């Protein structure tokens, strides 16, 4: 791709389709063009004013504000009257094309878009105004030079930046008028034309104008070189540069002495003719050198080939594209393009047929061999060059290397259908495949199943070992899934043999498997057991054995859903049922699971509001010394009193709080409430005893537990010896090092 620092042109792409904008960027940036993007008309109009693009690529069919109206508004904006506007429309949408032209469009392209053709057309439209301006400016300069040289008025130019404002140019009329040659006056102030009787007031007015940098028109008596006087009508005009700094004065002088006008006119004519001949000769030489330099130093390959497939001429870029050190090597060694250039057999003949039909080919894309045998993709624009009698003499054209663009298109296509980590199909690819497969299954009365997998406790692996280790686990799971599901379980071969979409990663630690042409539900169970057995084998990561198990939910067509969404939703519900059943197992979908899932969602929603609404409360169970019967402590036990559900058992909401992560906030509330209550009892004169609070595994693993306990003790004023923290054995043993450090 071209270096952004070298981008000299900007293109504004206005299209609500993200894919079109991405392809436009991928294609045009390869040619050194910077891209600005807008997803709608208002954004495009705003971006045009700030980015000042050199060309606008505009979709006709946009929501709210269509492309025709945008085109009309662009033409009305400052600087928008001359910017090329290239509209994109449908193949047969003649009406839109006509409306776009009337609104000010420069050109159009039809969908589907040939991006190579579009790139060349964009470059042409970008070059055309520049080339036209250069030609126009050059022609204007030539006309000005001829006009100045041909003028019957004397013209001289003085440099106001130098001391004494010397003359740096004078035309032939001035020479004839004054009698001085140019080499005699250049470098001198024009006061040498004055005599003793020249009006001093007029001379003073000229000086005032020069110092003030303003125009002056005056008539005064001057003297020629031979001493003869003449009346000179002088118009003195200042010249400023782009920064409005005075740089020169132009003096236009007319000899009002009638008797010399005829002689001066004849002399001016001869001088002008000679100047025109010299200028034309010089211009031809400059143009020849210019085109030679362009040919030799062009970034694009430029070439000529014979009708028989042999290079006649080529520039360095064409040789470099083909892998040669010089054009001479290319022409000497590539003598049969049909056999030596194209990878695809018969492509040269196809090229010949195409160019014979139209006299030219545009964006002829082909894979070619380089000198070392490597392959690249190129795009050619070629035309026929014929003699006066119509005989084909040779082909001439340009060639560019589009390998990077081809690779980018392949990468975009890959990312649209594959998971970049595991190489499996992604969600979009799988769902599209599932919808087509379901249609086939319904048509032929076949049974099929979806296995929805979620890895058990995968978050713990990520939290403990890091995301890099987690990625390695996901890659290993993907590989084992692929090998454990036999080809007979999948039907990717029926639709798209090049893409296996029957095993997919849905995101995170979720995977899905499509089974087709099963005869019995037990076939799906058999595959599920095989997956459980395969994934139960230990995985070695960094010399450490890890065990990963899945929970699998199974949805069957036609029993558990008649479309992709319902089947996936029901398989997902079955997977959660498998987790509730103890994990590392599989469950078939049943209608009651959705009711349970909805109940669980409702309970989770209420639990999130319980802390805020004050629905949680603590019960305290005394801890009694058996021998003496003395109360030595109390244990804080959480309860939930919901206005709608009544008293909810901890066995129902504690697991939900742990799964959702709410257990951390709830645990902190329990700790603060229990400490405050114990301190209140002690302040009321009750026995000073310990209060025991259970700490969940998630609370303990979160950093900052020690600081939280210290803060709550400080807030409530409870001495540390009256707080007891209870931990389960599994929590203590999960990471012994961190446990010891925290304790």
Q: pLDDT tens for residues 493-531?
A: 333 333 446 899 998 899 999 998 788 888 888 899 999
DSSP string computed for 145-198: HHHHHH-SSEEEEEETTSTT--EEEE-HHHHHHHS--HHHHBTS-GGGG--TTS
Q: What pLDDT is stored for residue 498 in this prediction?
A: 38
Say if residues 503 and 485 touch (Cβ distance below 8 Å). Answer: yes
Collapse the DSSP code of 244 into the 3-class scheme (helix H, G, I; strand E, B; otherwise coil) and give the result.
coil
Q: Are strands 586-588 and 550-557 parallel, antiparallel or unpaired?
A: parallel
Q: Residue 554: pLDDT above 90?
A: yes
Q: What pLDDT is stored for residue 204 in this prediction?
A: 82
Q: How far is CA 294 from the centre of its chain?
A: 32
Say what percent of the chain tops pLDDT 70: 90
Q: What is the CA radius of gyration of the chain?
A: 43
Q: Residue 722: pLDDT above 60?
A: yes
CA-angle at 630, arms to 629 and 636, nearest 5°: 110
CA-wise closest residue to 382 among 337, 332, 346: 337
- Structure-token pair, residue 436: 């087509």
Say if residues 32 and 57 touch (Cβ distance below 8 Å). Answer: no
Q: What pLDDT is stored for residue 174 in this prediction?
A: 87
- Structure-token pair, residue 380: 């050619």
Determine the Cα–Cα distance for residues 515 and 368; give it in Å rounded to an integer. Answer: 43
Q: What pLDDT is stored for residue 595 in this prediction?
A: 56
- Give the torsion sign (CA, 24, 26, 28, 29): positive
Say if residues 431 and 506 touch (Cβ distance below 8 Å). Answer: no
Residues 6+ apart with CB under 8 A from 465: 541
Determine the Cα–Cα distance for residues 618 and 666; give it in Å rounded to an integer. Answer: 11
Q: What pLDDT is stored for residue 499 in this prediction?
A: 40
Q: Residue 36: pLDDT above 90?
A: yes
Condensed to tens digits (0 to 9), the pLDDT of residues 203-230 reads 788 778 877 878 888 888 888 899 888 8
- Structure-token pair, residue 211: 């110092």
Determine the Cα–Cα distance for residues 285 and 433; give it in Å rounded to an integer. Answer: 66
First vs last C-alpha separation in the chain: 57
What domains lie within the chain, and their CATH numbers? 4-135 (3.40.50.2300), 151-275 (3.30.450.20), 298-407 (3.30.450.20), 418-481+507-589 (3.30.70.270), 600-742 (3.20.20.450)
Q: Residue 490: pLDDT above 60?
A: no
pTM of model > 0.85:
no
How many H-runs (helices) and E-runs (strands) does the chain carry? Answer: 27, 27
Kindly report the average pLDDT of the chain as a whole number.
84
Say if residues 85 and 116 touch (Cβ distance below 8 Å). Answer: no
Span 127-140, mean pLDDT?
A: 64
Helix intervals (H) in 540-689: 564-580, 591-613, 650-660, 663-683
Q: Residue 383: pLDDT above 90?
A: yes
Q: List strands edge to edge, sheet with 216-223.
A: 167-170, 154-159, 246-255, 229-240, 216-223
Buried b (16+ CB within 10 A) or exposed e, 525-551: bebbeebbeebeeeeebeeeebebebb
Q: What pLDDT is stored for residue 493 in this prediction?
A: 33
Q: What pLDDT is stored for residue 692 in this prediction?
A: 92
Collapse the DSSP code of 694 into the 3-class scheme (helix H, G, I; strand E, B; otherwise coil) and give the result.
strand
Residue 584: DSSP 8-state:
S
Q: What pLDDT is stored for residue 267 in this prediction?
A: 67
Q: Residue 741: pLDDT above 60?
A: no
Confidence of residue 130 (pLDDT cuts 50, 70, 90): low
């Amino acid at each position: 791709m071209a270096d952004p620092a070298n981008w000299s042109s900007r293109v504004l792409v206005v299209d609500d389709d993200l894919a079109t904008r991405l392809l436009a960027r991928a294609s045009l940036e390869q040619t050194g063009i910077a891209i600005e993007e807008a997803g709608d008309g208002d954004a495009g109009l705003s971006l045009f004013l700030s980015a000042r693009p050199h060309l606008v690529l505009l979709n006709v069919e946009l929501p709210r504000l269509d492309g025709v109206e945008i085109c009309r508004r662009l033409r009305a904006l400052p600087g928008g009257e001359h910017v090329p506007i290239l509209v994109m429309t449908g193949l047969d949408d003649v009406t839109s094309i006509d409306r776009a032209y009337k609104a000010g469009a420069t050109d159009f392209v039809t969908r589907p878009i040939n991006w190579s053709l579009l790139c060349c057309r964009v470059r042409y439209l970008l070059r055309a105004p520049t080339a036209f301006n250069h030609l126009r400016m050059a022609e204007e300069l030539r006309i000005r030079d001829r006009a100045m040289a041909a003028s019957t008025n004397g013209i001289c130019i003085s440099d106001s930046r130098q001391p004494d404002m010397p003359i740096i140019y004078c035309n032939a009329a001035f020479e004839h008028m004054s009698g001085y040659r140019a080499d005699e006056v250049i470098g001198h102030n024009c006061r040498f034309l004055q005599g003793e009787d020249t009006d001093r007031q007029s001379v003073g007015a000229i000086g005032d104008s020069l110092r003030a940098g303003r125009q002056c028109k005056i008539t005064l008596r001057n003297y020629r070189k031979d001493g003869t006087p003449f009346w000179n009508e002088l118009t003195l005009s200042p010249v400023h540069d782009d920064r409005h700094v005075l740089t020169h004065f132009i003096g236009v002088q007319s000899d009002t002495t009638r008797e010399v006008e005829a002689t001066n006119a004849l002399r001016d004519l001869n001088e002008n003719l000679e100047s025109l001949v010299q200028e034309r000769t010089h211009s031809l030489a400059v143009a020849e050198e210019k085109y030679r330099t362009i040919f030799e130093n062009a970034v694009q390959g430029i070439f000529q080939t014979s009708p028989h497939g042999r290079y006649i001429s080529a520039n360095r870029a064409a040789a470099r594209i083909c892998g040669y050190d010089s054009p001479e090597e290319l022409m000497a060694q590539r003598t049969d393009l049909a056999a030596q250039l194209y990878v695809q057999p018969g492509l040269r003949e196809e090229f010949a047929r195409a160019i014979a039909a139209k006299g030219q080919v545009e964006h002829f894309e082909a894979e070619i061999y380089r000198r070392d045998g490597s392959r690249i993709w190129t795009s050619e624009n070629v035309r026929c060059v014929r003699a006066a009698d119509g005989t084909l003499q040779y082909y001439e054209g340009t060639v560019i290397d589009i390998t990077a663009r081809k690779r980018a298109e392949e990468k975009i296509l890959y990312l649209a259908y594959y998971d970049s980590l595991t190489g499996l199909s992604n969600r979009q690819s799988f769902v599209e495949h599932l919808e087509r497969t379901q249609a086939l299954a319904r048509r032929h009365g076949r049974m099929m199943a979806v296995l929805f997998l979620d890895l058990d406790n995968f978050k713990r692996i990520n939290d403990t070992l890091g995301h890099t280790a987690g990625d390695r686990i996901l890659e290993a799971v993907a590989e084992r899934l692929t090998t454990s599901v036999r080809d007979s379980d999948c039907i990717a071969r029926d639709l798209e043999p090049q893409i296996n979409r029957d095993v997919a990663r849905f995101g995170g630690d979720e995977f899905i498997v499509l089974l087709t042409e099963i005869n019995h539900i037990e076939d799906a169970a058999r595959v599920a057991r095989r997956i459980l057995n395969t994934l139960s084998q230990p995985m070695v990561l960094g010399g450490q054995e890890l065990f990963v198990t899945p929970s699998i939910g199974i949805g069957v067509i036609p029993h558990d859903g008649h479309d992709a969404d319902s089947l996936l939703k029901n398989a997902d519900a079955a997977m959660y049922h498998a987790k509730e059943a103890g994990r590392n197992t599989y469950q078939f979908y049943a209608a009651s699971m959705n009711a349970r899932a909805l109940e669980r969602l409702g309970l989770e929603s209420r639990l999130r509001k319980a802390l805020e609404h004050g629905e949680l409360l603590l019960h305290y169970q005394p801890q009694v010394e058996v021998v003496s019967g003395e109360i030595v402590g109390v244990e804080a036990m959480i309860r939930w009193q919901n206005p709608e559900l009544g008293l909810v058992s901890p066995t129902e909401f504690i697991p939900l709080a742990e799964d959702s992560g709410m257990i951390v906030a709830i645990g902190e509330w329990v700790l603060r409430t229990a400490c405050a209550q114990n301190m209140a009892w002690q302040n009321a004169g009750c026995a000073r005893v310990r209060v025991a609070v259970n700490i969940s595994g998630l609370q303990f693993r979160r950093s900052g537990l020690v600081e939280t306990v210290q803060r709550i003790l400080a807030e409530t004023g409870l001495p540390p010896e009256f707080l007891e923290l209870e931990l389960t054995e599994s929590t203590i043993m999960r990471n012994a090092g961190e446990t010891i450090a925290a304790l």
